[in-house]
Amino acid sequence: MKKSVQKITSVVLLAGAFAAGGCSTPPSNAQVGATTGAVIGGVLGATLTGSTAGTVVGAGAGAAAGHEIGKRMK
């Protein structure tokens, strides 16, 4: 199971890196917050539950929270 969590974590981190690297303009604070939140939430979800569903839910919740936090930052 530990190997599965490492694979999921790697995929989430790579997806976040590709998403951030694909921007033609600097990302807004909300976009940075959403990306950061998705990565952290995905890693936490995978670690705490050890399941794909936990990873997806964690990434979604983290993205939503990170987006809202990023919007409020200046």
Grade residue 5 by pLDDT with cuts at 50, 70 and 90.
confident
Residues 5-31, buried b or exposed e (16+ Cβ, 10 A)? beebbeebeeebeeeeeeeeeeeeebb
19/2 Cα distance (integer angstroms): 26
Give per-residue pLDDT as tens, 10-50: 777 777 777 666 667 888 899 999 999 999 999 999 999 98
Cβ atoms < 10 Å from Cβ of 43? 19
